Amino acid sequence: NAGVTQTPKFRVLKTGQSMTLLCAQDMNHEYMYWYRQDPGMGLRLIHYSVGEGTTAKGEVPDGYNVSRLKKQNFLLGLESAAPSQTSVYFCASSYDANTEGIFGEGSRLTVL
Amino acid sequence: DQQVKQNSPSLSVQEGRISILNCDYTNSMFDYFLWYKKYPAEGPTFLISISSIKDKNEDGRFTVFLNKSAKHLSLHIVPSQPGDSAVYFCAASFSGNTGKLIFGQGTTLQVKP
């Protein structure tokens, strides 16, 4: 039972490049979330999903897109990376709306 | 505008003593509060939570207190152990989507042997 797995763990991009972060959970959770963590600011919600085929905006959605084509996967995309998107990205999932989230180990992204 | 604030970036305590981590919030509509613990290079892990209908919740060495009138909550760890050294995040949410969290900035706790 792997829990929440994020790939890749590390990535360096040049400004303007695109990439996709994959979050996979094997716990049959309905809800999935993408957060970013920046120094001195805690974690901030980017986008989330309340079930397969659904997505919604969080606190800081600009510059990101997401998709939830399969229940177990939640993808976070950067179409044109900017240095301001240098951050550590965390995915989380929860069984339902009243269960605490389980987080992945994080993906460190650097945009040069 | 930071809706959840942890004003102490760091805290150092001696092993065996009490650790008290504080958190303030501004939105009175929050009705569910959580504490997460994070070790370096790992994701946050859920520690303890409290609903706004309660003023205290206890789980082993960890107790969370909620003062709604002051919009303040605190996490008490008694006794503190070196393995408790980590970053502690306070978070708030609305019941009905407890994974959609507003986090504080975090407090780094160091427990000295």
List, in order, residues 6 or more apart from A100 with CB less than 8 Å away: A94, B34, B46, B49, B98, B99
Q: Cα(B24)–Cα(B36) distance, rounded to whole angstroms?
A: 15
Which pLDDT score is estimated for B2?
Answer: 83
pLDDT in tens, A40-72: 889 999 999 999 999 999 999 999 999 999 999
Above pLDDT 70, what percent of chain B? 99
Instruction: Locate the chain B residue with the closest alpha carbon to A48.
Output: B100
Least confident of A38-42, B55-59, B107-111: A38-42
Closest CA of chain B from A101, distance in Å: 5
Chain B residues with CB-CB distance to A46 below 8 A: none
Which is more confident, A74 or A1?
A74
Interface of A with B (CB under 8 A): 4, 31, 33, 35, 40-45, 48, 50, 58-59, 90, 92-94, 97-106
Quick check: B100 and A45 CB within 8 A? yes
Q: Cα(B34)–Cα(B89) distance, rounded to whole angstroms?
A: 8
Q: Cα(B35)–Cα(B104) distance, rounded to whole angstroms?
A: 10
pLDDT in tens, B20-33: 999 999 999 999 99
Helix H, strand E, coil C: the string for B36-72 is: EEECCCCCCEEEEEEECCCCEEEECCEEEEEECCCCE
Quick check: A98 and B98 CB within 8 A? yes
DSSP per-residue string spanning A45-79 = EEEEESSTT--EE-SS-TT-EEE-SSTTEEEEEES
The DSSP secondary-structure symbol of B29 reads T
List, in order, residues 6 or more apart from B81 with CB less than 8 Å away: B15, B61, B111
pLDDT at A82 > cutoff 60 = yes
